Structure 1
Amino acid sequence: MTERAASTEPTTGPTEPTTAPAPEPLLVDGAPAETLWPLDPDQRHLNHGSFGAVPNRVLEYQADLRDSMEASPIGWFGQLPDRVNAARAQMADLLHLPAGGTVFVPNASAGMSVAYASLALPRGADVVVTNHGYGAVVQGARRAAARAGGTVTVVDVPLGASDDDAETAILAAIGSRTAMLVLDHITSATATLFPVQRICRRARELGVLTVVDGAHSPGVLAQPWTPEADVWVGNLHKFACAPRGSAVLVAREEVRQDLFPLVDSWGGTLAFPERFNFGGTDDLTSYLAAPFAYDYLDQVLGWTAIRTYTGELADYGQAVVSAAMSEATGQDAHVSLRHPVGPYRLIALPRGLGHTREDADRLRDEILQALGIEAAFTSFDGRGYCRLSTHAYTVAADHEDFAARAVPWLVEAAHQ
């Protein structure tokens, strides 16, 4: 079947909802999965992808760690580097990452900043990014290029472009001054899975450093890491449900000893990865709780079951909401992507809504206040989208309620 490339216009898709998936994964005692989280039951939660949600048991585990820290600060901080080192090795094992190349960082943006600050760019270097890039990450790339007296080249990759077309466009932008290529693994604004492995391999053959923002990958992808990337970073507080302030950075062996934490510490003279185990007096309980969170959800629900359920529910939610939006506006709101990614799906908003990031964020805040619905709205190429994201606690009724209440609200807002 020939894949149809999409532009900023929504593409034709199903107009009738598909069958709702089976009930969410159940616990051993038969309780619904949503009981694992402390989320407000009076709200609809359809935006796990932005800030995540931490299970009750993980919060309790982290609280116990904090109690230990406050009970004996000297004992705690004296042993903290060894604790972080052990948690780092465990996290690498759980996510199938190379232990010797993996370190904790506070979040994906911080990990990208480590790469920008540590990997020296030659004078006049060009840094290549795409128009799908996360705002903070692109800002960091611009600052890194400016420090080198260089430039940033933004590659336009159409929404829904094939893997071949995306690769061709990105590699075509690499020139004699290109020193670094920055890619998204799963894009934030467009929920697009980029063929990062093959692009990074080719870029490395051309002598270009590659840095991959995999903020949304851990948990969503069974193999989240991009081995061909020189540096890959991924958040643990999103789909992996670790406490906020936890992410991992994975570096190829060739660049590991060039990487240093953003803040100097007494570990600065140590080799990679040990130099990243020091955090001064920072509260690093999020790092220590991260492997517990991932293993806990695997034990009580199973990551394969979570990924299967959330993917099926995302398909259902997209069908239900896009059908309601299409009927209300008279325009097809379904957005077809070449590789729908796990729990993420896009719905085209009515014209005039979310055409800038600021407008999209305003919609997020206003719809929460007006309807009690947590949802993500994004902007790409001057067009607004709703980005639905699910987890094990999400149910079909959440999407049905969004279609019944949020869609009319959005249509009315577009006419104001």
Structure 2
Amino acid sequence: MSETEVAVAPHPLLLADGSPAADAWSLDPALLHLNHGSFGAVPLVAQERQAELRAEMERAPVAWFPELPGRLAATRAELAGFLRVDAGDLALVPNASAGASVVYNALTRRRGGEIVVTDHGYGAVTMGAERLARRWGGRVRTARVPLDAGEDEAYEAVVAEIGAATDLVVVDQITSATARRLPVGRIGAEARRQGVPMLVDGAHAPGLIEAPLDGATYDFWTGNLHKWGCAPRGTAALVARGPQRDLLHPLIDSWGAGEPYPDRFDQQGTLDATSYLAAPTSLDFVGRTWGWAAARRYMDLMADHAARVVGAAFTGLTGEDSRVDVGMPVPGMRLVRLPEGLGRTRLEADALRDRAARELGVEAAFTSFGGIGYLRVSAHVYNTEADYERFAEKYVPVLADWARRPTC
């Protein structure tokens, strides 16, 4: 990407009638929404579709639930097309962490009970790996990957931890706290060569990466469709390839337990599955309105512009360099270094997120890595240049003041 491209914000995306993209969402205009990456945002058409499905369910529940497995199988085929995977490899789960838990529950110790993770791993998934290691009587080995590490350095850092005692490797495709990619394809190929299964946490990948599983060697992959895909929350995919997929079962046993993978996931008792059924509506809306390639391009350019504008505002006030060198950047997300003293730990970053929402009306992601706090920019199609200029002008000075006077 050239300097010319990042110096100018992209023109705001519009709906077919010429109105702003944000009009397709129900986001409160009184709040500043700068954190699509954490929980997503559901367009109105998908909210309406889910409401229709719920109404149908409540009108005739005795008819609804017996027919549900067939409808879910058809939905899986649609979602598999979006991800470019075989529908027979894809099961529906509530979120990426649930997908990881399904894998953890299925695997057995075959070697020394060691699990390799990275220091960029999502906390809930890493805690699940730690619990599994305790159950196995093994331990977790953490690969330390510098934030600015390129592909080769990141690959070497992870594979150096794989050994004769390794029973599982868990690696993020896109890291949550640090907004970078990891070379999961290369790592997966090496893990396969050594006979070690690998779980890829692709929570942020659907929508940000065109075909996140293309050309890579994965045993298990799980990704959220309710983040960048804008599906109703509680919609994620678990993709499993190879013989070990037959070990995977839903976290709750139901009448489909005797069915093969992934059909057994389609029957979950009285689970409200309307989020799954409405997910294609969200994906289709973005695809028909702007096209996913154009949407990704817009999000990437907007994130670049946001990091430049907000980073310059922090630097102008504090004199500290707010730029962040991320070794393998991703579309749509960027890091801006916070002033010294803000968000140095996960708990401090979470407290800062909550305070900004409560006192400023700003929905933003604050993260930490290596004792340094960051603002994680995550733009979507409804964000505009004005959002980040408003944040830089009105709220960056407040955050700089909080850094000087760190009280809550």
TM-score normalised by L of structure 2: 0.96
- Judged with a 3 Å threshold, the aligned counterparts in structure 2 of structure 1 residues 349 and 266 are, in CA distance, closer, same or farther, namely same
- Name 2:259's counterpart in structure 1: 270
Q: 1:203 aligns with which of 182, 191, 194?
A: 191
**2:331 alignment partner, one of 304, 327, 342:** 342
* In structure 1, distance between residues paired with 2:281 and 2:295: 17
Matched residue, 1:193: 181
After superposition, give the CA deviation of every residue in 1:75-94 in whole Å (9 maximum; x if it has no partner).
00010111111101111012
Contact kept, 8 Å, 1:161 with 1:338, in 2: the verdict is yes
Alignment equivalent of 2:377, drawn from 375, 381, 388: 388
1:73-84 equivalent positions in 2, closer than 5 A: 73-84=61-72
Aligned residue number for residue 44 of structure 1? 32
Q: Report the residue type matching 1:181 in the other structure.
A: V
**Aligned-residue CA RMSD in angstroms?**
1.6
Q: How does 1:1-400 map to 2 (within 5 A)?
A: 18-122=6-110, 124-225=112-213, 227-400=216-389
Query: Any idea what SS the aligned residue of 1:182 has?
Result: strand
Query: Shift in Å at residue 406 of structure 1?
Result: 2.0
- 1:149-190, Cα deviation, whole Å (9 max, x unpaired): 111001111101011001111111111101100000000000
For 2:364 and 2:195, the matched residues in 1 are separated by 41
Deviations 1:298-355 (A, max 9, x none): 1122111110111111110000011111111111001122332111000011111111
Letter of the 1:107 counterpart: N
Equivalent-residue separation in structure 2 for 1:18 and 1:127 (angstroms) = 40
**Contact kept in structure 2, 1:15 and 1:319, CA below 8 Å:** no
Instruction: Give the equivalent residue in structure 2 for 1:7.
Output: none
C-alpha deviation, 1:124, in angstroms: 3.7
Partner AA of 2:41 in structure 1: A
Shift of 1:121: 2.1
- 1:20 & 1:104 partners in 2: Cα distance? 40
Unaligned runs of 5+ in 2: none
Structure with higher RCO (Cα < 8 A, 6+ apart)? 1
CA 1:224–1:16: 2 relative to 1, 3 Å: closer
How many Å separate the matches in 2 of 1:169 and 1:85? 40
1:283 maps to amino acid = D
**CA-CA distance at 1:22 after TM superposition:** 3.0
The structural deviation recorded for 1:15 is 12
Quote the Cα distance in structure 1 between the aligned partners of 2:136 and 2:167: 11
3-state secondary structure, aligned to 2:175: coil
Hey, what's the Cα distance between the residues in 1 that align with 2:322 and 2:33? 21
Which amino acid counterpart does residue 167 of structure 1 have in structure 2? Y
1:414 matched to 2:403? The reply is yes
Q: Distance in 2 between matches of 1:263 and 1:294?
A: 28
Q: Specify the SS of the correspondent of 1:255.
A: helix
- The one-letter code of the counterpart of 1:267 is G
Once the two structures are TM-superposed, the CA of residue 18 in structure 1 deviates from its matched residue by: 4.7
Structure 2 counterpart SS, 1:394: coil
Unaligned runs of 5+ in 1: 1-13
State the distance in 1 between where 2:242 and 2:235 align: 22
The CA distance in 2 between the partners of 1:200 and 1:56, in whole Å, is 38
Match of 1:8 in 2: none
In the aligned structure 2, how far is the partner of 1:88 from the partner of 1:16? 41
Count residues with an aligned counterpart: 403
Residue type matched to 1:284 in 2?
A
Aligned residues of 2:147 and 2:327 also touching (Cα < 8 A):
no
Aligned partner letter, 2:359: A
8 Å CA contact 1:16–1:323 kept in 2: the answer is: no
Change (3 A) 1:15 1:24: closer
User: CA offset at residue 123 of structure 1?
Assistant: 6.2
SS of 1:286's partner is helix
Q: Distance in 2 between matches of 1:19 and 1:332?
A: 18
Q: Is the 8 A contact 2:338 2:373 kept in 1?
A: yes
| 1:377-399 per-position Cα deviation (integer Å, ceiling 9, x unaligned) | 00111111100111010000111
Letter in 1 for 2:45: R
